[in-house]
Amino acid sequence: MMDAHTLPIIFVALTGLAVVVYAILDGYDLGVGILLPMDDREEADRDTMIASIGPFWDANETWLVLAIGLLLIAFPAAHSVVLTHLYLPVAIMLIGLIMRGVAFDFRAKAAIDHKLAWDRCFKMGSLLTTFSQGFMLGMYVMGFQYDWPSVLFATLSAFGVTAAYSYIGGAWLIMKTEGELQKQAVRWTRNSGRATFIGVVAVSLVNPMVNPGVFNRWFEFPLVMFVLLIPALCFFAFIFNDVLLARLPKQNDRHCWLPFLMVIAIFILCFSALGFSFFPEIVPGQMTIWQAASAPESLRFILWGAIVVIPVILMYTAFSYKIFHGKATELHYH
């Protein structure tokens, strides 16, 4: 039987999985929203871009609900601390998500003259959601200290996450579109990839400076010989993707899926580095996973629910992507 030491590790791993999958799946559809062109002459491109995420975007947010639910149920003390410090950016994120949901439906049902306004609402909702998530990540790294350096870093993090979501959103469009829109997506992806790289480097430099324990963990011998593979692989993925994007699109649409796969790898490597930096702390400098965890009896009961729910979510997610694979076509509303 799993004990009080093992159960919190299992649940923090499940929470981390939900966060990573959310960042990848909802990240690309947020990125598509950010990249929407607002020129009147590009209405057809906007329709195709939204069609590329139409079957998936609502279900992608399931992973955000799962992550918050796991945090609340398995680590209630940490949930209380995190939400107390991040109440305002969470509220802004919810406003952004509501704007996206409303705009997605109304853009096709409102008068033609109002369609562009709803597209702008969708874009603004995507930006609000992304900025607030990036700001929350920055404040988490800074230990929820609301002084000027922390707020400045959190703002930088907000721009970095926005660039990262644009990066994966552009890579998604390369895979799902064709023609001139695909060529435009290649340019978007390459530019946002370079901005993302700068953001990753900035966070990597600042994090050890503000958290001395993080520096000691990364450069402790002999562990340093293995963990430095994470930033090395991440750097290689950025460079490889930039070189690849310079050669896209290729004849017969070859390798159109590869940039998206490389960005997924970058996301996983970055989240792995973040997890390694702070584990076993769930609130940096304040609380470990064992201090924040629910009673072992509660965790054992909840684990049975997670064993059922998470595979089901994974299966219907995989099924939906299998059904709607291929290039995006005209979006129809019924």
Q: Are 135 and 157 in contact (CB under 8 A)?
A: yes
Give the pLDDT score at 228.
82
pLDDT exceeds cutoff 60 at 1 = no
- To the nearest 10 degrees (0 to 180), the angle between helices 258-278 and 229-245 is 160
Give the pLDDT score at 44.
86
In percent, how much of the chain has pLDDT > 70? 97
* SS3 labels along 27-65: HHHHHHHHHCCCCHHHHHHHHHHHHHHCCCHHHHCHHHH
Predicted TM-score of the model (pTM): 0.92
- Answer positive or negative: Cα dihedral of 58, 64, 70, 72: negative
In the predicted model, what is the mean pLDDT of residues 55-65? 84
More confident residue, 121 or 332: 121
Lowest mean pLDDT among 113-122, 156-165, 191-200: 113-122
Per residue in 233-256, pLDDT (tens digit) is 999 999 999 999 999 888 888 889
- Classified by CATH at the fold level, domain 7-323 comes out as Formate dehydrogenase/DMSO reductase fold (1.20.1630)
Tokens of 232: 């090395």
Per residue in 250-307, pLDDT (tens digit) is 888 888 999 999 999 999 999 998 888 888 889 888 899 999 999 988 899 889 988 8
